[in-house]
Structure 1
């Protein structure tokens, strides 16, 4: 007799993070699957960065990744940005129970001067 075990992971998406973005309410997955979290930002301006944060209950938001125009990745995730920048997808490879959180997609304007560009994030 074979015993099969599975854990469902619920990834809730932030709906109050930024009025300029829209996300589905939640995405369900099982461990080891790759999860795609979509975000629509149809009114994005040319100098707005796309930021993703995750928030575990009773903890502060944690930075995941950000990008401006091109796809980007880090050790946690991959951010796929549409060529018209009106949507993006956060891709989480091989999720585990530790990845269960609320994920927030927000837009923030970059401020540039002679010393470079910065992007302020306010809580």
Structure 2
């Protein structure tokens, strides 16, 4: 595994803290995002890259353990949940054209999934 990018943010933050003049230079130019932040906020911001990288590092081995056809179907879950949140919670407009498109996609996915199940059942018999 390559831990270069997640550690890059932490290393940059550490290097900034070890150079006392760097903080003064950045604050005087108005470019220091950490100038008014507490130490706990600074620590959380520095660890944000590492925290975001952990699910991504776990995703790759998990994706290799399932069949590609199932992985493809699972990839429709996140956009569908985002769509439902948009329509149900945020009351975004959802007309007849969008309903037809969304329905056609899910009907096609259902046909594909049922075909895969049927073929697996035939192979077992």
- The verdict on a shared fold, with TM-score over 0.5 as the criterion, is no
TM-score scaled by structure 1?
A: 0.21
| Higher percent of residues as helix | 2
Flag the structure with more relative contact order, 1 or 2, with Cα contacts below 8 A and sequence separation at least 6.
Answer: 1
Q: Which has the larger Rg?
A: 2
Q: TM-score, normalised by structure 2?
A: 0.21
